[in-house]
Amino acid sequence: MNTFRLIKQAGSARSAEFTTPHGIIKTPVFMNVATQAAIKGAVSTEDLKALECQIALSNTYHLHVRPGDELIRELGGLHRFMRWDRPILTDSGGFQIFSLAKLRKIKEEGVSFNSHVDGRLLFMGPEESMKIQSNLGSDIAMAFDECVKIPSPRKYVKESADRTYRWLVRSKKAWMQNVQEEGSVNPGQMLFGINQGAIFHDIRREHMKKIAELDLPGYAIGGLAVGETHQEMYDTIEAVEECMPKDKPRYLMGVGTPGNILEGVARGIDFFDCVMPARNGRHGHLFTKEGILNIKNEKYTREDLPIDPTCNCPVCKKYSRAYLRHLFKAQEMLAMRMAVSHNLFFYNTLMSEIRENIDHGTFEAYRINNSQKLDKRI
Amino acid sequence: MNTFRLIKQAGSARSAEFTTPHGIIKTPVFMNVATQAAIKGAVSTEDLKALECQIALSNTYHLHVRPGDELIRELGGLHRFMRWDRPILTDSGGFQIFSLAKLRKIKEEGVSFNSHVDGRLLFMGPEESMKIQSNLGSDIAMAFDECVKIPSPRKYVKESADRTYRWLVRSKKAWMQNVQEEGSVNPGQMLFGINQGAIFHDIRREHMKKIAELDLPGYAIGGLAVGETHQEMYDTIEAVEECMPKDKPRYLMGVGTPGNILEGVARGIDFFDCVMPARNGRHGHLFTKEGILNIKNEKYTREDLPIDPTCNCPVCKKYSRAYLRHLFKAQEMLAMRMAVSHNLFFYNTLMSEIRENIDHGTFEAYRINNSQKLDKRI
């Protein structure tokens, strides 16, 4: 069965449907980040449905450290644990090990590191990452990789990309064993490989060609949005995209602003995730069709309008800017929930607008109209 | 029109209906505390309805300091500002001035004090308190009073109670002017007088008789649950209750545990409010039919049961103790929201059980069965 069905193309941009054990995802899609099996800002899984979220993303590293993937398996897997019946993608833990954990040591087998919670010494390699993700029972598991910081020396990037390839071969083997295991939490779990190579186009392309040969259900571009310029990121995506299978979904990890997403879609990307809507929301930065506003601004003190008068989210349908500003100034938790809810709805409906514009042949005009405007501070 | 209609009595306990400009309240009732025009723990006004909340309580002092009652009036009053269409009671600000504000100075006219937010010098007397509550447009305004700490010297308590009486006469006059004013936010606003006198029964009773003569829509017992024992509190309620009009609602301010509420109802009280369900919830202390559990406890790590298997709240209907414990350990805001929601539902449905038991003549047995058990830590 081909799980990825292309519907329409507009240049490199594509709209499609991706079938998972927990339902069909319409792409391009933005995944809503539920790091520790919960969305930040007191947003519940019921809320997520009202916010038009198609797929949640949880973090292997965090859930392994706390509450533990064995516990989650025992309680029926992550879907049941967090009471979310739509698709879940889990990352591999690699990114968190390289960004959060202390005193890490990389070897061929994997990485030794200290937990950021209690300092306990842990080890994770491809087999461990795949086992944890199997215990969580996500619909999409990500291969274990090294996320190299930018800039890094070319020699190191090449060696790391080669090791990440060898880790992918081991990830694939472990994944295939896990899904066939008796009592597997999610026997339909799929594995996405991750392309690395910093901003060296030739390393990226060579790596992409090799991992494409492994014929996995999907492929991600990892290691971007970690310090390079937007233009360097876009150029790298273009260089890699030519080597990516056309009939598999592509996921640009950890990206980004609404403008970045539009530019990513224009370059053939189908999946996105980013902490930005939740993190910016918690600081009062709210996305609107006219740009990003700061609700703490004095000028909203007496405004009885919603955040975005054109928005149909549960917050904009009911509450005023003045009230939300008050909640922020008074440091009420409800402020966080409203801001995060609005921003996630904005991202999720941005994606449905993108899909519609691809389907109706108007994507290029839509991109030109919005790509700068949406990222502007107003 | 008599706004308070007695339905049934069981000893001193009574069930009744109280009509307000924003709907009928069934009593005995617990008011859900929305200090700064929001429930703590990211609970929204939609949630409040699902939690069976009949009436919210907001704080005059807090809202005067931030965002300002003039702003709220300009935006249509507190109901519209927070998008809550059911009844609201506002306290007088007195309690916060005496517990939160710094460097206060009490004179016959009122109290000078420094704002706890920015230190700004403020003044509040009966006229100011009533004006603020008029701007907020609550359904029930509370008279401006001094809440004396326990223990205090008898001489001071007597002088203070006398001054609180004189303040009540002024509160009543100001209230009557405000509701008749052109453009009044809530022309149907009612005023409750507040009985004071610490735990000196004779001072309390004399004060109560005097304020009853003012024929206000309701009366509160203030200045309890501030340091006296439970028995002293119950004895004081009994002493005062005999002097309270039978045909007016009685409100025991700031009380209390489920057991305190049952004992209060048994002594003729109709209205309660307390920060306890929200505050305890935020610390993981959850009310159940069997007593109070601490969800952070190790023993809940693997429990797939809801907080209280007999509870029909939105949290118990969906989530497990193990998941909620994880959210607390991971310091996710969602933990607060779930815990506060459960506890408010517990209090609100406790009150409906109390009403049913009064109506069915089984209140005394219900009280005996539950008054100790519900407050027990399990």
Cα of A267 vs its chain's centroid, Å? 17
A50 close to B (CB below 8 A)? no
What is the C-alpha to C-alpha distance for residues A62 and B92, in angstroms, rounded to an integer? 47
Q: Is-above-0.90 flag for pTM?
A: yes
CB contact under 8 A, A40 and B332: yes
pLDDT over 90 at A97, yes or no:
no
pLDDT of residue B104: 83
Q: What are the pLDDT digits (tens) for A273-311? A: 999 999 999 999 999 999 999 999 999 999 999 999 999
pLDDT at B79: 98
Nearest to A38 among B37, B41, B334 (CB): B334
In A223-312 the beta strands, taken as DSSP E runs, fall at 250-252, 271-273, 285-288, 291-294
All residues of chain B having their beta carbon less than 8 Å from the beta carbon of residue A322 are 67, 71, 75, 81
CB pairs under 8 A between A and B: 118
Single-letter code of the amino acid located at A377:
R
Inter-residue contact B310 to B289 (CB < 8 Å) = yes
Closest by alpha carbon to B95, among B67, B125, B69, B59? B59
CA–CA min distance B324, chain A (Å)? 9
State mean pLDDT over A22-41.
Answer: 97
Residue A298 CB partners (closer than 8 Å, separation 6+)? none
Across chain A, mean pLDDT equals 96
pLDDT at A119: 87
Structure confidence at residue A100 (pLDDT): 78
A337 interfacial to chain B (CB closer than 8 Å): yes
User: Which residues in chain A have their CB less than 8 angstroms from residue B338's CB?
Assistant: 44
Question: For residue B302, which residues of chain A lie inside 8 Å, CB to CB?
Answer: 71, 74-75
Buried b (16+ CB within 10 A) or exposed e, A2-40: ebbeeeeebeebbbbebbbbbeebebbbbbbbbbbbbbb
The pLDDT value recorded for residue B92 is 92
Q: Do B83 and A319 make contact, defined as CB atoms within 8 angstroms?
A: yes
Confirm or reject contact between A74 and chain B (CB < 8 A): yes
**pLDDT at A1 > cutoff 70:** no
3-state secondary structure (DSSP) of residue A356: helix
Q: Which residues of A are catalytic?
A: 91, 273
For this structure, is B273 an active site residue? yes
Query: What tens-digit pLDDT sequence spans chain B (378 residues)?
Result: 579 999 999 999 999 999 999 999 999 999 999 999 999 999 999 999 999 999 999 999 999 999 999 999 999 999 999 999 999 999 998 888 888 777 789 999 999 998 888 889 999 999 999 999 999 999 999 999 999 999 999 999 999 999 999 999 999 999 999 999 999 999 999 999 999 999 999 999 999 999 999 999 999 999 999 999 999 999 999 999 999 999 999 999 999 999 999 999 999 999 999 999 999 999 999 999 999 999 999 999 999 999 999 999 999 999 999 999 999 999 999 999 999 999 999 999 999 999 999 999 999 999 999 999 999 999
Contact call for B322 and A75, based on CB within 8 A = yes
Distance (Å, rounded) from C-alpha B23 to C-alpha B35?
21
Candidates A183, A211, A179, A213; CA nearest to A195 is A211
pLDDT single digits (tens) A327-365: 999 999 999 999 999 999 999 999 999 999 999 999 999
Whether complex ipTM tops 0.95: yes
Question: Does A302 touch chain B if contact means CB atoms closer than 8 Å?
Answer: yes
